[in-house]
């Protein structure tokens, strides 16, 4: 593997000094880029794009050709694991992901197998290896997975949901069934992320997109507890370097202390949490990632720069901050506005690292 030329992200995640604050964007490879839309049209559909190593590599690198990003993130989807479990994943235009065989009963859970990441998800590992080779040490590569709770919401609901009624009914009426499902998913995510690390991922992030729909007690029992289990089972060193782990729970700002105690190296913040207050609460224990409102990118360049300046000022002096959006970039954002954002982070953050 090539020597890493830009290790700002890894240094920031270790809360070590950097010259400027590193920045990447969730969903940085995606539909807001015209070149991505061309690649997807060539591939035929979204899943074909994910499952073709060359296309997955191509779209992973596209934002790095446009922007001065400090990381690449594997182009894939959080629902690869349930897809490999045989649930019949498909995508309907305008409606998001759906499963032909949702998981609703104890028997459904018992029938699920834990996927072999190299055999059943080999296309993901192939993409990781292809991307690492193409990056040639330019920036680190981030691998990822959905959290067990977030994956379970899609599997039980059969797709996206507004109220999570079906999985919450299972949680309240048949908690043993849900715990059995989450246990299988935790085992699956652990082996999946370890396979990504062995294939070349240098950082991993757990996306707990729907953890914030739970009560505090249920978050600990049905989401964070399983993420702790995963983190404890991960390979933490590869190629002579530590492999940092980021946990991102959307709407999880009220649980920062317990998330920081999970074993993760960094906590991702959505835009509802003030980053200065978050640093005061947990910044001595973990790095913080975030947390500009993605809607800011609809604003003028001046508005974007002002928001970047405000977040940097709220975080304050010193290392331990990875700048990011508080969730994924929206599909209708002008790519030129994304460039303003990324350049502003580097330009305006330098005084905070002197």
* Catalytic entry in 36, 83, 120, 154: 154
Q: Which of 161, 10, 20 minimizes the C-alpha distance to 98?
A: 161
- Choosing from 68, 77, 116, 293, the catalytic residue is 77
Q: Is 285 a catalytic residue?
A: no
Q: What is the pLDDT of residue 326?
A: 97
> Which is the catalytic residue, given 31, 236, 241, 281?
31
Residue numbers belonging to the annotated binding site for substrate: 27-31, 77, 154, 209, 327
> Rounded mean pLDDT of 255-283?
97
Catalytic residue check, 31: yes
Sorted by where each begins, the domain ranges of the chain are 8-353
CA-wise closest residue to 8 among 289, 280, 311, 296: 289
Q: Is 257 exposed, middle or buried (0-12, 13-18, 19+ CB in 10 A)?
A: exposed
Pick the CATH number of 8-353 from 3.20.20.10, 3.20.20.100, 3.90.470.20, 3.20.20.210: 3.20.20.210
List binding-site positions.
27-31, 77, 154, 209, 327
Which pLDDT belongs to residue 186?
98
pLDDT of residue 298: 98
Exactly one of 8, 11, 15, 27 is catalytic; name it: 27
Asked if residue 181 has pLDDT above 90, the reply is yes
Residues whose CB is less than 8 angstroms from the CB of residue 108 and which lie 6 or more positions away in sequence, other chains included: 101, 102
> What's the pLDDT at 327?
97
Give, for 97, the enclosing helix (H) or strand (E): strand 96-99
Answer yes or no: is pLDDT of 150 > 60. Answer: yes
d(CA 267, CA 41): 35
Whether 1 has a pLDDT exceeding 70, the answer reads no
Mean pLDDT of the chain: 96
Is 77 known to be catalytic?
Answer: yes
Tokens, residue 14: 């270790």
Instruction: Give percent of the chain with pLDDT exceeding 70.
Output: 99
Confidence of residue 305 (pLDDT cuts 50, 70, 90): very high
Q: How confident is the model at residue 304 (pLDDT cuts 50, 70, 90)?
A: very high
Instruction: Report how far residue 249's alpha carbon sits from residue 45's, in angstroms, rounded to the nearest whole number.
Output: 29
Whether residue 27 lies in the annotated active site: yes
Q: Say if strands 141-146 and 203-208 run parallel, antiparallel, or are unpaired.
A: parallel
Query: Average of pLDDT values for 87-111?
Result: 90
**pLDDT-above-90 percentage for the chain:** 95
Q: Is the pLDDT of residue 96 over 90?
A: no
**Is 208 designated active site?**
no
Please report which confidence band the pLDDT of residue 2 belongs to, taking 50, 70 and 90 as the band edges: low
* Cβ atoms of residues 208 and 247 within 8 Å: yes
pLDDT at 3: 85
What is the sign of the dihedral through the CA atoms of 104, 107, 110 and 113? negative
Q: What is the pLDDT of residue 91?
A: 85
233, containing H or E segment? none
Q: How far is CA 284 from CA 9, 43, 266, 275, 287, in A?
A: 18, 45, 11, 13, 8
């Amino acid at each position: 593997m090539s020597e890493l030329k830009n290790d700002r992200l890894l240094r920031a995640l270790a809360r070590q000094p950097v010259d400027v604050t590193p920045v990447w964007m969730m969903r940085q490879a995606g539909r807001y880029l015209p070149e991505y839309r061309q690649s997807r049209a060539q591939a035929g559909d979204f899943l074909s794009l994910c499952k073709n190593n060359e296309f997955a590599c191509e779209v992973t690198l596209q934002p790095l050709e446009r922007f001065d990003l400090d990381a690449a993130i594997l182009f894939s989807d959080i629902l690869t694991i349930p897809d490999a479990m045989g649930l019949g994943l498909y995508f309907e235009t305008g409606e998001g992901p759906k499963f032909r065989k949702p998981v609703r009963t104890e028997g459904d859970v018992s029938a699920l197998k834990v996927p072999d990441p190299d055999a059943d998800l080999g296309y993901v590992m192939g993409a990781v290896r292809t991307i690492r080779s193409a990056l040639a040490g330019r920036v680190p590569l981030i691998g990822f997975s959905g959290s067990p709770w977030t994956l379970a919401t899609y599997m039980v609901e059969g797709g996206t949901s507004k109220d999570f009624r079906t999985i919450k009914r299972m949680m309240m009426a048949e908690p043993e069934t849900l715990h059995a499902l989450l246990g299988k998913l935790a085992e699956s995510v652990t082996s999946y992320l370890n396979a990504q690390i062995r294939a070349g991922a240098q950082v991993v992030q757990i996306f707990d997109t729907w953890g914030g729909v739970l009560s505090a007690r249920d978050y600990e029992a049905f989401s964070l507890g399983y993420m702790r289990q995963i983190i404890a089972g991960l390979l933490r060193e590869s190629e002579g370097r530590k492999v940092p782990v980021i946990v991102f729970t959307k709407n999880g700002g009220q649980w920062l202390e317990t998330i920081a105690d999970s074993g993760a190296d960094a906590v991702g913040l959505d835009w509802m949490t003030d980053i200065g207050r978050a640093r005061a609460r947990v910044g001595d224990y973990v790095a913080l990632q975030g947390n500009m409102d993605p809607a800011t990118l609809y604003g003028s360049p001046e508005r974007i720069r002002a928001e970047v300046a405000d977040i940097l000022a709220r975080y304050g002096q010193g290392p331990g901050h990875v700048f990011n959006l508080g969730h994924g970039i929206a599909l209708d954002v002008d790519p030129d506005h994304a460039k303003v954002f990324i350049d502003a982070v580097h330009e305006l953050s330098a005084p905070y690292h002197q």
